[in-house]
């Protein structure tokens, strides 16, 4: 998906990949929370 030049810059800039990973984890946790709330509402 990424070109070689972009991949190299990603490995050099560790703070950027850390920010992206934190954003991804937050997004996944929010999605899990929304899905669990929806499943609880469906069960009720």
Please, are residues 36 and 29 in contact by the beta-carbon 8 Å criterion?
Answer: no
Q: Which one-letter DSSP state was computed for residue 13?
A: -
pLDDT tens figures, 1-33: 455 566 566 556 678 788 899 999 999 999 999
Report which of residues 5 and 41 the model is more confident about: 41
Residue 2: its H or E element: none
Q: What is the pLDDT of residue 33?
A: 94
Please, are residues 2 and 10 in contact by the beta-carbon 8 Å criterion?
Answer: yes
Enumerate helices (H) and strands (E) in the chain, giving the number of each.
2, 0
**pTM of the full structure:** 0.50
Return the residue matching tokens 């850390």: 18
Report which of residues 18 and 43 the model is more confident about: 18
Q: How confident is the model at residue 41 (pLDDT cuts 50, 70, 90)?
A: confident
Name, in order, each residue with C-beta under 8 angstroms of 2's C-beta and a sequence gap of 6 or more.
Answer: 10
Q: What is the pLDDT of residue 11?
A: 59
């Amino acid at each position: 998906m990424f070109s070689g030049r972009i991949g190299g810059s990603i490995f050099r800039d560790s703070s950027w990949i850390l920010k992206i990973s934190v954003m991804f984890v937050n997004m996944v946790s929010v999605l899990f929370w929304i899905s669990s709330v929806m499943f609880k509402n469906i069960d009720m």
